[in-house]
Structure 1
Amino acid sequence: MPLFSRERDDLRSWITEFDVIHVGGGNTANMYDVWRRQGVWDIFTDMFNDPANENLVFTGGSAGGICWFDGGTTDSYGPILQVLPEGLGFVPGSFSPHYDAEEWFRFCDRHQPHKRLPRADSHRRKRCSR
């Protein structure tokens, strides 16, 4: 879905026609900013909260995986890993897509005990059983 050179005026009617929403990788922080400005953040949230969409699938990898969680780890701000304490919150807790890399493993271990990364047991959403 190209958002930098849009060819559609009404993203909502187009996006809500899909049964699967797959988001690729990239810069998570920039993706969030674009989604908010273009209205995609609200569209996804409304789709998730609509009981008629109980069979809708939200999926993705890397940045496209983090976005569905409460937050995660990111290199969106440069080569030094940072906590990104925001996401759509459809899945409780945090997602660290490159956790298998030693550098990410050490980073997550340093930040999780200090509760800088969202944890699943702190999730407050009512609809997280999807």
Structure 2
Amino acid sequence: MNRMKVGEEEKTKTYTALVWTQKAIEKEDITFINDIKDLTLDQKTPLRVLHRRTLAIRQRVIHSMNARYKDSHHFYLGLKTQAGTYIKEFVHGDFGRTKPNLCQLLKTDADILELDVEVGKCSL
């Protein structure tokens, strides 16, 4: 198990999410999101996995975000994150268990409607 965990902190994953927001999205919101780099999160073990994982606070990094407007209450969010980051909880905040979260950053309620993990090349 120790050999599998070597380098885990440096691994990254890339995601694309469809996000809904309660308030209308404006051009300034998209620009604001796109300008965020290397955002450090404190994530408590999410409620949805608490029954199978120990309660802990884990620091994770979102290296970059790329927002693309869809309509007044939806946008696509591209994320490059440290492996192990809970993406759904970053978007909706998980009742304050992830700080900062997208709801805090945009000052509105937000939720994730779709989430895709980008598949990278695997070398053997």
Normalising to structure 1: TM-score of the pair? 0.29
- Comparing both structures, which one devotes a greater share of its residues to helix? 1
- Comparing both structures, which one devotes a greater share of its residues to strand? 2
